[in-house]
Each structure stands twice: as structure tokens, then as C-alpha cells.
Chain A
Amino acid sequence: MNFAGFIVAQSLNAFSQAAILFFIACGLTLIFGIMRIINFAHGGLFMVGAYVGYTTVLLTGSFWLSLIVAPIAVGVLGGVFERVFLSRLYARHDGGAYLMVTFGLAILLAEGVHLIWGPQPRSVAIPDMLRGVVFILNQPFPIYRLFLIGIGGAAAILLWQFLERTRAGLLIRAVSQNAEMVHALGTDVAMVRTSVFTLGCAIAALGGVLSTPLVTAFLGMGSNVIIDAFVIVIIGGMGSFLGSIVGSLLIAFVQVFGAYYFQDMALAIIYLLMLTVLIVRPGGLLGSEQ
């Protein structure tokens, strides 16, 4: 067996998995950073994105169009939810209330999907352009996964530059540091919150659409993925964007290689990792100490 080829192929696998995880985790961490909300419905929004993408492909036949339609639809859904429900809770300063409301939304989303699309999984074909495999060091590797790595990397860089270089990004970082001060300086903080929530939901939906050709759209996909995303956000540091990138990579590598080398411990290993990080650095790897 070609060991180098194996390592490379598995690493690429891990990178593509990290890309999907990143799409969920970065929205989660941005939302947490700015509103101190743990959005339990994020997995549900990821799932709704996948299903909306499926329907778009079914109606129009275009995978590329679904990459635009699903994030917009889910972003609007998330934005409306934030305006109608979450924005009324900020004054209460009760972390529990957010948890509850988003948990309620998660239930509604899961059931809504069940009602609209039914219980059976829905599959989406890989677009023609991205079908097939390439050989890397004599190991076959699916082109679609390479595409995922590319789009994940591009999204990470774009978002990072957006946060660092633009005025909107500056506002987001400012609100996450001290919302009251930003508000006092005359910025519409409520608007920033709604926008970030919308953005986070849209990115999660994009991740959902991108993952469907690999794993199909199915009912449990939201709750499967949300815990991984939590672990990433906690390991990376709650509210830290770069932390969500580091965390996604770490978890994806641990999952891919862990599943190969420590089959017995595969499930436990990411929780052990999370515990270790929390004990050593309660704020996460790149987070501020709370």
C-alpha cells in the first residue's frame, strides 16, 4: 500500500470535511460573538438549506442556482426569526431564554421539513462538471471534494477579509466587543445583529447545499452536525472567527484519522479533545478568557 498516497488522500478528505463544518461553525461563532446567543437552530437551518437546495435543483435543474437560492431563503428566514423573537429577548439578559427559543425553532424546523419534504432522504446528483475522480499519488480522489476544499477555503478567506478590512466588518467586531459603546456612538446595533444573524444562517444553508451531493438531505442531518459545530466553536474559542477555522480543521482531521486509527474511540475522541481544551483554556484556543 502506498502510505504517502494514503496520508494525502485522507488529509484531503479531512480538508473537505473541514470545509462543510466551517460553514456551520463560522456562523455559529459570529452569532455568538455579537449576541452571546448559542443558536441551537443552526443545525436546523443547515438542514433547511439542504432541502431548499434540493427543491431548487429539482425545479430548475441547476446546482449552481441552488447555491444562491438556498442561502437567500434561509437567510431571510433567520433574519425574520431574529427580528420577531430574539430581538425581544435582548433586554432580558437571560442566556437561558435564547437557548430555549432557538431550541424551539430547531424543533419547528425539523418538523417543518418533515411535513414539507417527508421522511425519506433526498439526494442531489453531483453536477456534471465536478463528477469523476482525479489521481493524486495513485490514489483516486473525487473532484467534488476538491471543489469543496476550494470553496471552503475561498469562503474562509473572503469572510476573514470582510471582517478585517471593511467598515461593516469593523462594526461587527466592535459590537462583539462592546455593544453599548457602539450604540452610544450612533450605530444601529439592532441592525448589525439582524444582519449578522442573517449572514450566519445563509452561510449555514450554503454548507447544507454543498453537503447534499455527498450525504443526501435527511431529517437528522441538523442534529448530527450541530454538536460537531458546538465542539468546534468551543475549541476554537466562542466568538472567534479564526478559531472556527482552526477548530473545523482540527475536528475534521481528528474525525477522519481517528476513524481509521482508533475506531473504538472515534466518537469519544472529539469530546475528550473538547474537555481537554476547556480545562486548559476555558475560553477556547483563540478565545478570550471568560
Chain B
Amino acid sequence: MRERLVIALIVALLCIIPLLVPTFTLTLIIEALIFGLFAMSLDLMVGYTRLHSFGHAAAYGLGAYSTALILLHFNLPLPIGIVIGVAISIIIAVPIAWICTKSTGVSFAMLTLAFAQLGYAMIFRFKDFTGGSDGIGGIPRPAGPFGLDFFQSKSGYFYLVVFCLVGSYLLCRAIVTSPFGAVLAGIRENETKTRALGYNTRAYKMSVVIMAYGFGSLAGALYTPFAGFVAPELFFWLVSGRVLIMVIIGGAGTLIGPILGGIFFMLLEQQLSEVTQLWPLIFGSTFIAFVMLAPDGIWGLLTKHFRSKRPVPGDGEDGGASRAAS
């Protein structure tokens, strides 16, 4: 109950942001929220199933490119374009998940990386279709359903992103707290044992990979009309590295942590890169410091404080606890 209250409060706070801040700041916040969503999608794999993906950029790129092509070539309302873009990405994710889950551990990470890099290469291969290294520009932001032009304004788009982020969070939460999520935790802690209990762990892993791709591609799909262009760099392994960092900095296996990590990362990058040229140095060091000193991430730091004082009701199954066990 208390937690619902907190979520409602945060959503309410988010909703009044467009009234308070200038347009430029709003742009930054939108991008940060999109990355928060992206990081959260990876957390399903990394934090809850301990499937280290090093190619999550594939999900982002797939979502971004398919939405871009849909919006560019079909005169569809924006939300429908995004839904179709995500649907296409999920369909493509099925064979990818099938192949990747054939292996585990480092091989799994490398297979996911291979697919992302393959996507990167394919953008160059089919350049008539994808624009090659130039990417695709001038992506429209068509009016919403029933002719609403709500999403064309910056604040309207902000609400769309908030809606998707909160919706995805609630969905992911439902997933990880369901019996399905319990099996995922079983795979994370001991896959052999879980298989011995009669669960088809491969099918569970495939499902979670497809889900992570789905939410990740939603982040990519939201990015497309917001930025107005897509570039092959969206598939590049550095993007996969960055999102993995966001998950770890935020606190893997907590959903909310990676969202915070994504937001923190983007805002810090935007702010510091304006102030100082040394930003990547500071960032690199902060990052190493997090891994060494605070493996539970931002969320772990925040909740540790709470935890030591009194047990928090309604926060039973998670927080830093599962991470510490993993």
C-alpha cells in the first residue's frame, strides 16, 4: 500500500514537471527517461535472470529503426507507429532469443553482442533502405489517434514517455513478482536445480529475453520520433556497454534502480559535459568506484539506509537483498 502511494506520488511529481521547467530542460529529461526505460528492460535479463547481455543495443536499434521506417513510409498516427515498431522488434527477437539461449554465461553475452553488431553491419548492407551511415532523418511526428496533435508538442511527448515508462515498470514488476518471475530467480540462483525441479528453463530464458527486447525496443521506438532521426550507432556495442553500466550503477535486480541509473547517467553526462571536458574521466572513475565500493548501486545505497533502521513493509522480495545473494 505504502509503495503504491510512493509510485503515485512520483508519477504526480513527474506530471507537473512540464509546467515547471523550460523546454530545453524538458528535452533532457525526456531523453533521460527513455534511457531509464531502456536500462530497466535490460534489468529483466541481467538482474533477474543473470543473463548478461552485451548486445542490448540490438533491442534499442531494432525499435528505433522499425519505428522510423513505419512512420516514414506509412501515414499512421504516432502511437500506432510505435506499437507496430515494437511488434516488429519482438518478432525479430524470437529467433535471436532462441539462438542466444542455446548457450550460457560468456557465450551468451558474446552471442547477444554478435547479433547487435550484425544489426549494425546490416544497416550498412541495406543502405538504400536504411540510409547507411547517414541514418534516416526527418522522421515525422504524426498526429495522434482521432486527429489529436497532443504528441507533437514537447510536453505532450513527455507525457507519452512517462506513460510508457510507468506502464512498463508496472508490467515488469508484475512479471518479476509472478510465479514466472520466481522461476527466473530460480534460474539466476541455480539453473541446474531449477531444471531438475521440472521447469523448462530454456523456455523461461527465451521468454525473458523476448520481453527484455520488447521493452528495450519500446525505448528505441520512443527515441525515434523524439530525436527525429536514427543512426547506425544505435546498434553499436558502446550503446550496449552504456546501458549495462546504467543497470549496474542503478542497482541490478531492482527495476527502479536501473531507471534511476539511466536517468542519473544521462543527466550527469549532459550536465558535466557542458561544464568540463574532463567528464569522461570523472564518469569512468565514478563507474569503477561504484563497482568496487557499491556493488548494489544507487538503489542499494538509498535502501540500505532505510533497511538498517526498520524493516520496510511491502518491500519484501527485493532491493539489494537479491543482488547480494547473486
Contact = CB atoms under 8 A, between A and B. Distances in A.
B121 A275 contact: no
Given A96-B248, A227-B117, A265-B125, A111 B288 contact: no
Interface of B: 46, 52, 54, 99, 102-107, 109-111, 113-115, 117-118, 120-122, 124-125, 237-238, 241, 244-245, 248, 252, 278, 280-281, 283-285, 287-288, 290-292, 295, 326
A95 B287 contact: no
A275 B52 CA distance: 17
Given A100-B248, A104-B284, A275 B118 contact: yes
Closest 8 CB pairs of A and B: A107-B284, A268-B121, A267-B121, A104-B288, A108-B284, A111-B280, A271-B118, A104-B287
Given A100-B290, A278-B110, A290-B105, 19 more contacts: A95-B105, A96-B46, A99-B109, A104-B287, A104-B291, A108-B280, A108-B281, A111-B280, A223-B238, A231-B114, A265-B125, A268-B122, A271-B121, A272-B118, A274-B114, A278-B107, A279-B99, A282-B102, A290-B107
A268 B23 CA distance: 41
Interface string A246-277: 00000000000000000011011001101100
A95 B111 contact: no
10 contacts: A95-B52, A99-B244, A103-B244, A115-B278, A227-B237, A230-B110, A231-B114, A238-B106, A275-B111, A278-B110
A12 interface: no
Contact of A267 (B109, B124, B281, B288): B124
A267 to B, nearest CB: 4
A100 B106 contact: no
Contacts of A92: 295
Contacts of B237: 227
A105 B238 contact: no
A211 to B, nearest CB: 21
A114, A265, A282 — most chain B CB neighbours (10 Å): A282
Interface string A233-252: 01000100000000000000
Given A267-B125, A268-B122, A105 B284 contact: yes
Contact of B244 (A100, A111, A283): A100
B117 A271 contact: yes
Contacts of B110: 230, 234, 274, 278
Interface range on chain A (Cβ under 8 Å from partner): 35 or more
A264 B124 CA distance: 8
A112 interface: yes
A105 B291 CA distance: 12
A206 to B, nearest CB: 25
A38 B283 CA distance: 21
A105 B287 CA distance: 9
A134 interface: no
Contacts, number: 116
A100 B287 contact: yes
Contacts of A227: 117, 237
Interface string A82-117: 000100110010111101110111011011101100
Contact of B280 (A97, A107, A267, A283): A107
B231 to A, nearest CB: 15
Contacts of A114: 280
B106 A38 contact: yes
Contact of B292 (A85, A95, A96, A234): A85
Contacts of A230: 110, 113
A274 to B, nearest CB: 5
Contacts of B295: 92, 94, 97
B52 A99 contact: yes
Nearest to B241: A103
Contacts of B291: 89, 97, 100-101, 104
B125 A278 contact: no
A289 B109 CA distance: 16
Contacts of B287: 100, 103-104, 107
A105 B326 CA distance: 24
A33 B244 CA distance: 24
B292 A112 contact: no
A170 B46 CA distance: 36
A271 B114 contact: yes
Contact of A268 (B99, B118, B238, B284): B118
A282 B106 CA distance: 10
Contact of A290 (B103, B120, B122): B103
A97 B323 CA distance: 12
Contacts of A278: 103, 107, 110-111, 114
Nearest to A282: B103
Nearest to B286: A104
A1 to B, nearest CB: 27
A111 B288 CA distance: 14
A279 B104 contact: no
Contacts of B241: 40, 103
A85 to B, nearest CB: 7
A275 B151 CA distance: 40
Contacts of B103: 278, 282, 290
A290 B115 CA distance: 20
Nearest to B279: A111
A152 B238 CA distance: 29
Given A96-B248, A100-B287, A290-B105, A115 B111 contact: no
